[in-house]
Amino acid sequence: MSGQEAVFQAFTAEQAANYAIGRANSYPEILYQSILSYHQGPRDLLLDVGTGPGMVVWDLLKQHFRSAIGCDASPGMIAHAKQDAEKFGLAGRTTFTVTGAEDCAAAVSGPAGSGSSGGVVDLVTVGTAAHWFDLPAFYRSAAQALRSGGTLAMWIPSSSYVHPSVPHAREIQAVMSDLEDTVLRPYYQKGSLYARHGYDDLPLPWDGADGEAVATFDKASFKRVQWDREGLPSAPPLPDGSPGPFLFGREMTFKQAEKALSTSSSVIRWREAHPDKAGTEEDVVKIMIKRVRDIAGDIDRITIAPSCTLLLMWKA
């Protein structure tokens, strides 16, 4: 992640571990299958930019790629990823470096990159991070790292939605939307809004006056894939007629929901601005959870998930 998002860049290894716990353990397989179906190329080397604790690397090394490089501007995130590489027995197939997105091509060196300075990566992935980058600089560096015909895949889970099958879903959704749209709005940065809008207005390589970027990525190859937009399940209804599942659907206890919401950068900034209230009964997330509990009654678990947007393009 770039210096534009100091919240995550300054994470310690302990904070990175808590971040990994708060987020889902992996992204849905259908997301990766959508990327790989589009990619249609070699699966030798992956470069995951803004890798955080390495979630995408672990997911794609399971059965899809031979080796991977993960880079992130946060030393704490990279330290956690390296620890997990040893724990998972994948240290020999991975390289993790403290490198910003805008210089990600520099991460393509050492064993995984075969000592090359770039142009050897088959797939560049960016999960839940591109909105923090200096995008023109990132696109130039990603293009340098990618081989001709290689794929750039960027995705964002945006906002949180209650599954329509949950009792009192509309009332609970109103409380959650109030948190995002009203309470936390003053703590959004520009990147937060790109994410909130599902990358609808995220600048793409051909949107600016950067001739090099325009010439490097193939606009005709661009593809946008969306799931569960505005909380409407993309999956078909179940046999009994009830709504189909969310892509990121996850049944959570209220405590788990609180942990997940606590990884949001806007929540972190709110807590930094209100240290006397953070973690207390006046904490912005705890207040929301209490309101939801009051509506939910006897329900002790709810299914919530973000919508998801995936952007795909090839290097010419």
Tens of pLDDT, residue by residue over 20-58, are: 444 456 899 999 999 999 998 999 999 999 999 999 999
**Other CB atoms within 10 A of residue 53 CB:** 29
Q: Is residue 217 part of a domain?
A: yes
The CATH number that applies at residue 276 is 3.40.50.150
Q: What pLDDT score does 213 carry?
A: 64
Q: Is residue 185 part of a domain?
A: yes
Q: What is the pLDDT of residues 62-88, one digit of tens each?
A: 899 999 999 999 999 999 999 999 999
Q: Which residue has the tokens 């672990």?
A: 58
Q: What pLDDT score does 210 carry?
A: 56
Length of the chain as a residue count: 316
**Other CB atoms within 10 A of residue 89 CB:** 8
Q: Are the C-beta atoms of residues 61 and 86 closer than 8 Å to each other?
A: no
Q: Pairing relation of β-strands 223-227 and 67-72?
A: unpaired
Angle at 71 between CA 68 and CA 76, to 5 degrees: 120
Number of domains in the chain: 1
DSSP per-residue codes, 91-149: GGGEEEEE--GGGGGGG--HHHHTT-SSS-EEEEEEES-GGGS-HHHHHHHHHHHEEEE
Q: Is residue 242 part of a domain?
A: yes
d(CA 111, CA 49) in angstroms, rounded, equals 18
Q: Is residue 295 part of a domain?
A: yes
Burial class (CB in 10 A: 0-12, 13-18, 19+), 93: middle
d(CA 215, CA 147) in angstroms, rounded, equals 14
Q: Is residue 304 part of a domain?
A: yes
Share of the chain above pLDDT 90, in %: 78
Q: Is residue 1 part of a domain?
A: no
Spans in the chain with pLDDT lower than 70 = 1-25, 110-118, 209-214
Instruction: Report the DSSP beta bridge partners of residue 304.
Output: 162, 250
Q: Is residue 14 part of a domain?
A: yes
Domain range holding 47? 6-314
> Which residues lie closer than 8 Å to 142 by C-beta, 6 or more apart?
47, 49, 104, 105, 124, 152
Burial class (CB in 10 A: 0-12, 13-18, 19+), 22: middle
pTM of the predicted protein model? 0.85
Q: Is residue 137 part of a domain?
A: yes
